[in-house]
Structure 1
């Protein structure tokens, strides 16, 4: 048996699941989900295309076209399911692995790749897409999320904030401070922890002796554990949590049990700290495979549909290859362009000073 046994073992509390690893639909007394055929198919399509983009990005990095990539293979169910629960006026505060959420919020994959190629510091408008910039410093985005949620409530908005982070981030003080602030001020924020079992090379059981979702009780708000490889359960649980936040019921912590199938980043070698047995165990619980099995079993999709999705993924991958390689190097002064929303005297002075410094190397 894998050292990371299947979620739901005795002592871990109730695990929310609507779709078994074999793709069979099961009922849950507290979470129901009734979608149209097109909505079920859209969940599969988004997961499959996100994985295709992810695979292509890894290949581009190996070819020297990207400086680094942060793979999300295996976590598509948690990301796409939770993202489909958002309303357009909600806001997302990601960490640095939420390609699936970015996709669902309309962020072009090429834009993400520009950041990892080093030609931009982000490149998208957080206000337009309701998706804020990637945060490399572990856990700080949770504090940003709580502050933003408090501001939204004070402005009279009935929208909510969804903050993503990993199991490793729960060891950071920032995350625990965010929990406390959110609870005390009943901020309309849902904390979504993707527990992918590994904080780089440190396993989850070396970080905590209790399931992560139970931490919420110590701060005075609910915690829920969901099968993170079940896209339907992630959608149902996150939708319910966001609805409660919008009604003024305060924060919720969702712990989505999933698994990072690839490396932490493309500079990591996971074979040094985890076994193939462990990887095989979780590969059998793949979120995309189980959704495909469900669609097939229920007669909602056939080979033609799956082939169409694969072909769409290949077209997107080809466009990404061409787009990444064609990215121009930005002018040096571009680093100053988006620091503030409006012109700023000190920034203008620093820009001019930097350009004068670079001019000193013109003859060389």
Structure 2
């Protein structure tokens, strides 16, 4: 049984870049290679553009709802880039930028939020599970995939994303317990953005940190500055490597902030003051990474222009996809419900087909 002291997270969140983008020495973790950080910066820029464009589509009535991760893009990018091609990502409804960074077509990601088709993308193509709207339910699924991979002798690692609000759900605790008991190779990555819709973190937990919750299950916890892409990437890569090597599940808490409302349907001025948000603008993960790369003369004007151009191409594809009229097939209502349709489903499908044929006549 593990010594509880070995499971404790660091007293302060791991940081490799300060708010001005200057490198911070860490006793264990080195700064990721400059090329790695440049690639991460590009994902940050694309992720921010995805968030902004999706917000515009909501205002135009082309998306039903959008939960923005504006200001949390370092968490999104770090989670996606820390994984190998054969690994799995289990996102939440707020993790659109993570799915895009993993390679999923942003137009397909948005179909869930547009309401055309559930999830909208093939989970197996990029090993990205459907975005989960219910809190914490995907964590149990993530543990199941990780446990199955271990039983098959695969070296697959699963990254399970959730927010601070999800840590108050029973599924979160069940997932951690099962993962620890069966030594499942899963990294639980909690994006602590300080609010579960309108409930502040202080009203959710009395623990020293959310990373401390791993101790009760025998899981090593860690804390990281969630607005520092270098630190997020370094910490997650280390924990993914540990899980892959058989060290069991890990729990990482990223300290970040939800800059915008919970969704477009939420009025955040009812539960927080604008002055609370302002200091976090200075900790913007995109600006921090940009300042660091410019200081090291890695991000040239030409490179920055190419990255901005790619982000605009992604946004243009999103607009075109949102404008396209869907061609719904009503029979798909009954597809993928069960591997073998039940008699009730078969009867309902036949009834619908008959009704549609009558309309056609």
Cα distance per residue 1:140-197 (max 9 Å; x no partner): 1111111111111001101111100000000000101111111111111110000011
| Match status 1:190 vs 2:193 | no
Partner of 2:160, secondary structure, is: strand
Deviates further, 104-113 or 191-200: 104-113
| Match status 1:262 vs 2:286 | no
| Match status 1:238 vs 2:236 | yes
1:89 counterpart (77, 86, 90): 86
Cα distance per residue 1:288-309 (max 9 Å; x no partner): 0000000010110122222222
Deviates further, 302-311 or 129-138: 302-311
Deviates further, 255-264 or 305-314: 305-314
Runs of 5+ unmatched residues, structure 1: 1-10
* Pairwise CA distance, 1:87: 0.4
Residue in 2 that maps onto 1:275: 273
* Pairwise CA distance, 1:215: 0.6
Q: Give the TM-score normalised by the residue count of structure 2.
A: 0.92
* Pairwise CA distance, 1:248: 1.1
Deviates further, 262-271 or 167-176: 262-271
Deviates further, 327-336 or 278-287: 327-336
Runs of 5+ unmatched residues, structure 2: 1-8
Taking the aligned partners of 1:344 and 1:268, their CA distance within structure 2 comes to 39
Deviates further, 276-285 or 324-333: 324-333
* Pairwise CA distance, 1:349: 3.3
| Match status 1:134 vs 2:131 | yes
Residue in 2 that maps onto 1:153: 150
Partner of 1:95, secondary structure, is: coil
Taking the aligned partners of 1:261 and 1:311, their CA distance within structure 2 comes to 25
Deviates further, 149-158 or 318-327: 318-327
1:173 counterpart (170, 173, 178): 170
* Pairwise CA distance, 1:359: 5.9
Residue in 1 that maps onto 2:317: 319
Residue in 1 that maps onto 2:58: 61
Taking the aligned partners of 1:358 and 1:67, their CA distance within structure 2 comes to 27
Distance 1:28 1:327, change over 3 A: farther
Q: Are the counterparts in 2 of residues 15 and 227 from structure 1 also a CA contact under 8 Å?
A: yes
Taking the aligned partners of 2:170 and 2:213, their CA distance within structure 1 comes to 13
Partner of 2:187, secondary structure, is: strand
Partner of 1:152, secondary structure, is: helix
Cα distance per residue 1:210-251 (max 9 Å; x no partner): 210001011111100100001111111111111111111111
Taking the aligned partners of 2:353 and 2:265, their CA distance within structure 1 comes to 33
Deviates further, 319-328 or 214-223: 319-328
